[in-house]
Amino acid sequence: MAIGGDPKTGFVALNRFAFGARGGAYAGDLARAASDPRGFLKAELLQPGIAELRAPALPDTKTAIQSLFAEQERQRIEREKSPPAPKVAAAPPTSGGDTMMAQGETAPAPAMTAPAQGPKMKAAEPPVPQRLLRADAMARFQRAVHAPVGFVERLVHFWSNHFCVSAAKGGIVRATAGCFEREAIRPHVLGRFADMLKAVESHPAMLFYLDNAQSLGPNSKAGQNRKRGLNENLAREILELHTLGVDGGYTQADVTALARIITGWTFTGRQRRIGEPGTFVFVPAAHEPGDHTVLGKVYEAGGIEQGEAVLADLARHPATARHLAWKLARHFVADDPPKPLTEHLAKVFANTGGDLKAVAVALIDSDEAWSAPLSKMRTPEQFLLAALRAIGRMPEGPGLILGPLNALGMPLWQPPGPNGWPDTAAAWTSPEGIKVRLDVSAAIAGRMRDLVNPSELLETIAGEAASRETRQAVARAESRQQGLALLLMSPEFQRR
Amino acid sequence: MSKTTREPACRLCEIPSPSRRALLVAGGTLFAWAYLPKFARAASARDPRLVVVILRGALDGLSAVGPVGDPSYEGLHGQIALSLTGEHPAIPLDAFFALHPAMPVLARLYKAGQAAIVHATATAYRERSHFDGQDVLEGGYPGPGAIQSGWLNRAIGILPKGDRVGTRGGLGVGSSTPLIMRGPAPVLGWAPQIIATASADLAARVMDLYAQRDPVLQVALAKGLETERIAAREGMSGSAARPRGGMDTAVGMRLAAEGAAKLIAADDGPRLAALAFDGWDTHANEGGATGRLAQLLGGLDGAIEAFEKGLGAHWKDTAVVVVTEFGRTARINGTIGTDHGTGTVAFLVGGAVKGGRIIADWPGLKDEQLHERRDLKPTTDLRAVLKGVLADQLGLSASLLASTVFPDSAAVRPLSGLIA
């Protein structure tokens, strides 16, 4: 199906595949996408290193974990010095304190405090995990808001959610959730799925989140000594969520076997006995000895290569191809994706040995991705990022995004479970959720100064895709702010 | 109309007796600028405050201050016209005008000589776009266009060096500074720190759009709004009942006014403040003595009271100016509301105001007396009022007011005698 030339396909390219068109200084995305929407998206995939994210302020996992350990050590020493000290900064403040309204356009003078609040306490330096999470959050938000196309960032978010970790698990994950995305997800988003799988399952954030770091082979030396044993949490999720899918044909015996096989996959703690703190390590003394059978195949006794072999086989399993193809199609096209599309994507995945760039290209080349109605809901994060793109502003700190994300029920890197954030329209159209989107839209619009005419902005970001009713509602608003809020709440903006 | 309490339109009047301060500033040399204002204030011990409240959406002036003595009024405004009789009678201000019953505080201040009402007023803008109309109102230019600064900010900018008002700068209330206060002069920002509940008007407009375009979102939002209503009614706390306080609610208006009053009352605080209240675009079911507009006016009344209380001893030197981008149609429409119009009212409130009077050159409401046969005809240029307040309250000269604060407005003379 040829699709170039129809101006509405530019809207589909930007909304279905990315975070919408940019307004402000970068207005014109719609026209750039419209002449050759497929080429517009594919060109981004060809840019070298497009998915990577490196910045001096963003540490690697090892550094992040060591900073955390150092802070914990300092706190321990201080506690011992003054036992009954009141816990001032002990509880890590979540980002829940941030709100859209936290900062005016102009900062209040130092001597002035908001009258409703009383004197402001001098803000203590946030704890290390929170500081690290905010820095990485900011980098992630900036990427999405500034991306000229944005399809690759959507892929990053998709895979990051597929292999989610949760900051709620504790300081280790909070400190490394951003590292995890940069180190285990981004390098492989346009590479091979097998490489991503291996990077994910050996990352300290995942090993801590799904408890494999403390799983011991019952018959290993460490297991025998400490009278502790297997934790099959990670093994189960590898099979159920990360690769085959819940209907992928595995059994409880397969779960247990895989759990045994990946015993010893852990990361180094603060004692430097087995290596530098905060790095992945395979500990032979914790590894369950012997041959193990997964999905009918015997993996001979061995060390880390035993687990690596299973992961490699899982990555090329037909059930994995089907599961991932379905999930990708559901994410980008429709809650109930067309079967021919999922079958085609699975075939491409299988035929290319899990080449994720080839799969992304196949998605772009499909007819379904352009003909299906835009019936998906933007998630709260996609909504906020799309809003920032539209208004052409990026807040100076991440709080103005993290706060509303909390209010909208989608705290960053803190999904309710290892299955990640839900990916259906129904999950994001709860009454409370939509009501809060309304409040957040009003707050975003209320913060804006130097607003352009919202009707012009609607033209910039939706063009001919804007319905007559939405045009009218925006044009008839009682103020520019109200017009912008209406634009942000319009079906054209909420759906993708 | 001959009314003792009303003054004739003074658009073409000279300032007959400018205050001493105004004279001094107007005639000041560079040398004089440095100390004379201080001297003048030291002599009078006066430390003036000026607050401007913008009502976004266009206030129906004929419903806020009803010309109940005009024979055409009731016929035009129909069932939402104010009346001196009935269950919720309007409050008579003189033999001709009556104030909306939702504004007892304003009525009290009016009777105490601390509130004046300007009627049949408008900016120079004669189209009917809210966005452009607000730009003209706040920017202070004769017409719309790319406007970067507001007249209140520019007024701060031309105050003499060392002037207390100029040094303290302005205060912009709300999550973004209203255009009227934006510009090169120093401005502080403050807003109540909450994700406020979106205004009922915005919610209604989004619901209307969903009804036409997206039934799924329509159902979800309807339920969400209903849940929140119940939660608020039951006094629930937590996320289900986040603090209300949008700038179109009585709570929000009062909170904003209380906060602003505290800040500008402080010795080291700013002396000028700008606020914006929302929700005045009453196209449908506007309500008369009770209803939607009544709630908004009640909110405004509460904000005025919050200023009076919060400013305490400074109230006597304070002027609060309430303005809107334009008025609404004189005739109600098919949905018992009013559409975008032209002439409307402005309120001047505060201890510094020479109040107890209505300032209007009443144009009448007969068909041929209406602007384009639909709107209250503006007979007083709002800029004359604003310039008069700035001249008397801050001591700004007519020439600077006409060149810098309200560019190209030399023909619009400042209205004199607004400040006591």
A490 is a domain residue:
yes
Last residue of one domain, picked from the residues A371, A387, A406? A371
Assess whether pLDDT exceeds 80 at residue A455: yes
A221 is a domain residue:
yes
Assess whether pLDDT exceeds 70 at residue B17: no
Integer angstrom CA distances of residue B247 from A186, B201, B284:
43, 11, 20
pLDDT tens-digit map of A97-122: 333 333 333 333 323 333 333 333 33
Burial of A102: CB neighbours in 10 Å, binned 0-12, 13-18, 19+ = middle
A407, closest residue in chain B (CA to CA):
B239
Are A326 and A398 contained in the same domain? no
The whole-number pLDDT of residue B32 equals 26
What integer is the mean pLDDT of A331-354? 97
Residues in Cβ contact with A354 at an 8 Å cutoff, skipping those fewer than 6 apart: A192, A193, A194, A315, A316, A320, A321
A169 is a domain residue:
no
A27 is a domain residue:
no
Are A348 and A449 contained in the same domain? no
B196, B224, B258: residue with CB nearest A432: B224
Specify the pairing of strand A292-294 against strand A297-299. antiparallel
Tell me the chain A residues in contact with residue B197 when contact means C-beta distances shorter than 8 Å.
439
Q: How many CB atoms neighbour CB B129 within 10 A?
A: 16
pLDDT tens-digit map of A3-18: 766 778 999 999 999 9
Cβ–Cβ gap A108/B189 under 8 Å: yes
A425 is a domain residue:
yes
| ipTM of model | 0.85
- Average pLDDT over chain A reads 89
pLDDT tens-digit map of B121-167: 999 999 988 888 999 999 999 999 878 899 999 999 998 877 878 87
What integer is the mean pLDDT of B280-300? 92
Are A344 and A398 contained in the same domain? no
Assess whether pLDDT exceeds 50 at residue B20: no
Cβ–Cβ gap A478/B281 under 8 Å: yes
- Average pLDDT over chain B reads 84
A434, closest residue in chain B (CA to CA):
B221
Are A479 and A393 contained in the same domain? yes
Parse chain B into domains and list their residue ranges: 6-193+271-405
How close is the nearest chain B Cα to the Cα of A411, in Å?
Answer: 15
pLDDT tens-digit map of B323-358: 999 999 999 988 889 999 999 999 999 999 999 999
The whole-number pLDDT of residue B330 equals 97
A425, closest residue in chain B (CA to CA):
B216
Confidence of residue A80 (pLDDT cuts 50, 70, 90): confident
Assess whether pLDDT exceeds 80 at residue B62: yes
What integer is the mean pLDDT of A339-346? 98
Quick check: helix, strand or coil at residue B46? coil
Cβ–Cβ gap A491/B279 under 8 Å: no
**B172 and A104 Cβ atoms separated by less than 8 Å:** yes
A104, A404, A434: residue with CB nearest B189: A104
Are A367 and A381 contained in the same domain? no
The whole-number pLDDT of residue B232 equals 66
A460 in contact with chain B, both atoms CB, cutoff 8 A: no
High-pLDDT (> 90) share of chain A, %:
75
A97 is a domain residue:
no
Task: Pick B6-193+271-405's CATH classification: 2.60.120, 3.90.640, 3.40.720, 3.30.2000.
Answer: 3.40.720
Assess whether pLDDT exceeds 70 at residue A264: yes
Are A214 and A307 contained in the same domain? yes
* Per-residue tokens: B209: 């759009």
The whole-number pLDDT of residue B45 equals 61
Confidence of residue A474 (pLDDT cuts 50, 70, 90): very high
Are A486 and A438 contained in the same domain? yes
The whole-number pLDDT of residue A186 equals 98
Last residue of one domain, picked from the residues A328, A348, A371? A371
**Alpha-carbon dihedral of residues A102, A103, A109, A114, nearest 10 degrees?**
-30
The boundaries of the domain holding residue A354 are 318-371
A275 is a domain residue:
yes
Are A422 and A411 contained in the same domain? yes
Query: Count of A–B CB contacts within 8 Å?
Result: 187
Cβ–Cβ gap B225/A435 under 8 Å: yes
Are A417 and A478 contained in the same domain? yes
* Chain A (278-317) residues lying within 8 Å, Cβ to Cβ, of chain B: none
Cβ–Cβ gap A109/B188 under 8 Å: yes
Tell me the chain B residues in contact with residue A438 when contact means C-beta distances shorter than 8 Å.
198, 202-203, 206, 221, 224
Are A383 and A485 contained in the same domain? yes
High-pLDDT (> 70) share of chain A, %:
91
Assess whether pLDDT exceeds 60 at residue B4: no
Assess whether pLDDT exceeds 80 at residue B401: yes
The whole-number pLDDT of residue A102 equals 31
Are A217 and A239 contained in the same domain? yes
Assess whether pLDDT exceeds 50 at residue A153: yes
Q: How many domains does chain A have?
A: 3
Are A229 and A258 contained in the same domain? yes
The whole-number pLDDT of residue A362 equals 98
Last residue of one domain, picked from the residues A333, A355, A371? A371
High-pLDDT (> 90) share of chain B, %:
63
A482 in contact with chain B, both atoms CB, cutoff 8 A: yes
How close is the nearest chain B Cα to the Cα of A377, in Å?
Answer: 10
How close is the nearest chain A Cα to the Cα of B194, in Å?
Answer: 6
Segments of A187-279 assigned E as strands: 265-267
B239, closest residue in chain A (CA to CA):
A407
A184 is a domain residue:
no
pLDDT tens-digit map of A296-323: 999 999 999 999 999 999 999 999 999 9
How close is the nearest chain B Cα to the Cα of A416, in Å?
Answer: 18
